[in-house]
Amino acid sequence: MRRKIAAGNWKMNAMQGDLAEASSIANHPADAIDVVLCPPATLLAQMSALPLGTGGQDCHANSAGAHTGDIAASQLRDAGASYTLTGHSERRTDHGETNAMINAKSVAAIDAGLIAIICIGETLSERENGSTLTIIDGQLAGSIPDCATALNTVIAYEPVWAIGTGKIPSTAQIGEVHDHIRAHLQNRFADGNDMRILYGGSVKASNAQEIFAIANVDGALVGGASLKAADFTPIMDALAKA
Ligand code: PEP
């Protein structure tokens, strides 16, 4: 049995005053699932004092040094995180992150004792020209390090065109990609059947139940709908019931 994860990515949002939302999320009953929030680094230490998992949104591939503005995986751990995202599409686009860079960051995260949530997904043009599974194959092969195990790595499938747009793939499209990812993990890793695969992209309370019923969907990575407890807790509830 894979334990399900409801993960929230707060991106470059939230101030001290928003910690109350995290507190409400942390105090919502959710024994059956893992709940993880990835706040901006400014809130990480405070949020890590709450009864929920926390994560960074990115980490550097190096363990320390002259990298102004970056954050090391060990610093995320030191602030109380147990996870970090790597390879989010906004990092791939805004910072030109390649699969090789994401692979190195994921190794750094794992070496620091974090669980890497490695994000992959196709763009709209890749979806429309029929290359989704080829792109996914390249990202899986390139971004996931060989040291990945079900204990230190989670995969998040996030179609770029579904992130923050309100557009969402059909259940058949999500199922096709998740099954494809599962086959890759099973072929490559001894415990590939135990690795968790999250869906991300415009998940909301209104579509969560349908998404969580899809085979090989082990939870969600949620952006906008994770910022407010009123939006996120129904998603947690839907996952706990799935
Ligand atoms: C995300 O940023 O990972 C994400 C899935 O965002 P949203 O839920 O807002 O589409």
Mean pLDDT (whole number) for 69-93: 98
Give whole-number Cα distances, 100 to 91, 96, 106, 166, in Å. 13, 11, 10, 30
Q: CA 103, 109, 110: angle at the middle one, nearest 5?
A: 90
Domains along the sequence of the chain with CATH: 5-241 (3.20.20.70)
Q: Is the Cα dihedral 185, 201, 36, 120 positive or negative?
A: positive
DSSP string spanning 153-222?
EEEEE--GGGTTTS----HHHHHHHHHHHHHHHHHH-TTGGGSEEEEESS--HHHHHHHHTSTT--EEEE
Q: Is the pLDDT of residue 1 over 90?
A: no
Q: Is the pLDDT of residue 207 over 90?
A: yes
Q: Is the pLDDT of residue 28 over 90?
A: yes
Catalytic site residue from 90, 97, 122, 158:
158
Which residue of 158, 167, 227, 232 sits with most ligand 1 atoms within 8 Å of its CB, as the best mutation to test the pocket?
A: 158
Q: Is the pLDDT of residue 196 over 90?
A: yes
Mean pLDDT (whole number) for 106-135: 98
pLDDT at res. 192: 98
Q: What is the pLDDT of residues 126-163, one digit of tens each?
A: 999 999 999 999 999 999 999 999 999 999 999 999 99
pLDDT at res. 230: 98
Atom 8 of ligand 1: nearest residue by CA position: 223
Distance, CA 89 to ligand 1 centroid (Å)? 10
Count CB atoms within 10 A of the CB of residue 82. 15
Count CB atoms within 10 A of the CB of residue 166. 9
Atom 3 of ligand 1: nearest residue by CA position: 223
113 — pLDDT class (breaks 50, 70, 90): very high
Dist. CA 116–CA 84, nearest whole Å: 5
Mean pLDDT (whole number) for 51-74: 98
pLDDT at res. 189: 98
Q: Is the pLDDT of residue 239 over 90?
A: yes
Residue 109's SS3 state is helix
Q: Is the pLDDT of residue 99 over 90?
A: yes
Give whole-number Cα distances, 107 to 62, 93, 112, 187, in Å. 10, 21, 9, 20
Q: Report which ligand 1 atom has the smallest distance to the Cα of 204.
A: 8
- Annotation says 126 is catalytic: no
Express as a percent the part of the chain with pLDDT over 90.
100
Residue 152's nearest CA partner among 187, 180, 202, 117 is: 117
pTM of the model: 0.98
Catalytic site residue from 60, 88, 178, 184:
88
82 — pLDDT class (breaks 50, 70, 90): very high
Mean pLDDT (whole number) for 46-65: 98
Dist. CA 115–CA 126, nearest whole Å: 29
Cite the DSSP H helix spans in the chain: 19-27, 41-47, 73-78, 89-94, 99-111, 124-128, 132-143, 171-188, 205-212, 229-241
Q: Can you tell me which residue has the tokens 């309100």?
A: 166
- Annotation says 158 is catalytic: yes
Mean pLDDT (whole number) for 196-206: 98
Burial class (CB in 10 A: 0-12, 13-18, 19+), 46: middle
Mean pLDDT (whole number) for 30-43: 97
> What tokens were used for 216?
């090989």
Ligand 1: lining residues by beta carbon, under 6 Å: 9, 158, 163-164, 200-203, 221-225
